[in-house]
Amino acid sequence: MAQERQKTTHFGYREVPVQEKTGLVHEVFESVASKYDLMNDLMSLGVHRAWKRDFVANSGVRLGHKVLDLAGGTGDIAALMSKRVGKNGRVVLSDINEAMLEVGRQRLEDRGISGNVSYALSNAEKLPFDDGEFDAVTIAFGLRNVTDKDAALREMYRVLRPGGKALILEFSQVQTGLLKKVYDGYSFGILPMLGKLVAGDEESYRYLAESIRQHPPQEELAEMMRNAGFEKVRFRNLTGGVVAIHSGIHA
């Protein structure tokens, strides 16, 4: 038990006890919840909106499907998915952070999206849903903040029906040297400064930049998905690998 308590994981570039990471991540998103869209605009120079549209448009989700959106933030993916599943489908917007979930609920209600969307405060590593409950499970810009990614992937697999699809949109490993230099300079030089000036929170933005570099690159994440049980695992790079879309099918 003593050794178990000493296990560590990364929080950005810091090593922290495993049991502390969830709370530290919670503090970051508690801090940025009201400015989450601004955060994404700063981190992606506004391109995240196009990435998300691509992610949903190529998801394979159809009318009548039941979709679970993990780490759903302020509801961008849920809003797009609600249109795809239609009035007879259902989208469950889930997040571990209550402040983020409430912002998402308010945003969707303000846009008149309510009839086919419900909300769940839940941890991606231990989901409160039945086996085979969903046709698709999505997670956009959230997996890198999960402490035990393997556990989250296994849970995504568990709650999918046979033939159901998992879809992951996440910052990834840039594929060209020149773009990587520009991207690193922006991420570690400009982004924290903008976070301080615009959002009054330099440290949270520095953590978010560091968390991207600690996330498994494309091939490694694909292998993690296979180890969780997924078949037909594929990934597609966007913007030179700044982000990647991974997908896998429940066997």
| DSSP string of 192-213, one letter each residue | HHHIIIIIS-HHHHHHHHHHHH
pLDDT at 86 over 70: yes
pLDDT at residue number 85 = 98
6-174+208-249: CATH homologous superfamily? Answer: Vaccinia Virus protein VP39 (3.40.50.150)
pLDDT at residue number 4 = 46
Domain locations in the chain? Answer: 6-174+208-249
In this predicted model, what pLDDT tens digit does every residue of 147-187 receive, in sequence order?
999 999 999 999 999 999 999 999 999 998 899 899 888 88
Contact 9, 21 (CB under 8 A): yes
- Strand pairing of 90-95 and 117-121? parallel
pLDDT band at 3 (very low <50, low <70, confident <90, very high): very low
Round to whole Å and give the CA distance between 196 and 98.
Answer: 24
In this predicted model, what pLDDT tens digit does every residue of 105-156 receive, in sequence order?
999 999 999 899 999 999 999 999 999 999 999 999 999 989 999 999 999 9
What is the pTM (predicted TM-score) of this model? 0.87
pLDDT at residue number 1 = 39
Better pLDDT: 209 or 3: 209
Round to whole Å and give the CA distance between 104 and 117.
Answer: 11
